[in-house]
Structure 1
Amino acid sequence: MEMGQLTLSVRVYGSFVVANRKERPGRCNADFEGVVDLERRDAMRVLRKQACSVSSFAQNGDVVTTSMGSTDWVVYRDALLVRAAEREHFEATIMEAGAPHANDYDRFLSFDLNGAHYIFTDMQARALNFLFICAVTGDPEQRGVQILGAAGSASLKLSYLFSSRKGWRDIVYSVSGRRGYYMLEPALVVTMRVGA
């Protein structure tokens, strides 16, 4: 998905400096408007924090930055978009090459992330795999009841399903502003996607 496999973009407008990567400084455009791409680290920050300020973007080989003395552009998660050409490339190459499947949950039975080791039951791993599939197909935020259903759990809450495992909240986040919705830690999505 977002992390190195699918480039996320945003529409910006206002005073920006546009420079070719080889030539600096660039020209200031007081009325700039366009769709620009986020660097991978900035995309991860926006996905995790819901909103954050970004000072530099990419567009057709150029670097687009906020003009000197102006404040950085605040990118909101809800404003993120995927350019049509990027989505087509993703679907034609990455999705077909190794699209994850509901039966591939074994990767979540035992894994390492950020120096921590995690072990989960089959049902818990199915829940994590469901969130992973949703993330790589562009719909990372899922209702708890859907996650439980995909896992085959009769639990009423996600916390009940994971009650036997400490640290599960380090990799499954509650979505800010969307009660009852959860998403997988973006770094875990990247790790599992690379290892697939």
Structure 2
Amino acid sequence: MSILQYNGGCVVAMTGKNCVAIATDLRFGTQFSLIQKQFERVFQVGPKLFVGLPGLTTDTQTVLQRLKFRIKMYEMREGRRVQPKVLMAMIQNLLYERRFGPYFVSPIIAGLDENDKPYICCFDLIGCSTDPEDFVTAGTCEESLYGLCETLWRKDLEPDDLFEVISQSLLNAVDRDAISGMGAVVHIIGLWSDSYIAIFNFCVGIL
């Protein structure tokens, strides 16, 4: 079994019309042994910005701590909140610094940029990034998740439809993976008017 699959879990991010969603399952285990059913891999790092860190749990915690430190230093130095593309550069630098002994995580970014446009991005172990316009996946059931997202995703999904698509994609994918599951959490970040931005958190599946 790959070290990336040792603790299980997966993350998916998806864009919609003036909104973006990121979701994760809640299982934490060691291979096929269950340890916890309320373990989140998605964290809010800005007013309109989330990062998902699937992979080895110890590396997830380490990368999150170092990333929060870099974000705080940036915001103190620059006097402004971090934006998605700035966070992308931070993660690239953080991962590439450890390219000869990498952190076993595959980060995913989801949020709204400075123009309130949806932005998603994913990385490999050494920081190579991909920022498509539709969806990104990472984790132990990545292949199943990618296929379901490719089938269900449509352009310009409304927030309610986006929630339905991402939650159904995730729940159906983890049903096909023995080391993922135990319910899920979905975060929706959306622009509902010219000046009103809301973030909704939903729990779905078995908790």
Same fold at TM > 0.5: no
- TM-score class, shorter-chain normalisation, is under 0.3
Structure with greater Cα Rg: 1
Which structure dedicates a bigger proportion of its chain to helix?
1
Higher relative contact order (CA 8 A, sep 6+): 2
TM-score where L is the length of structure 2:
0.24
TM-score where L is the length of structure 1:
0.25
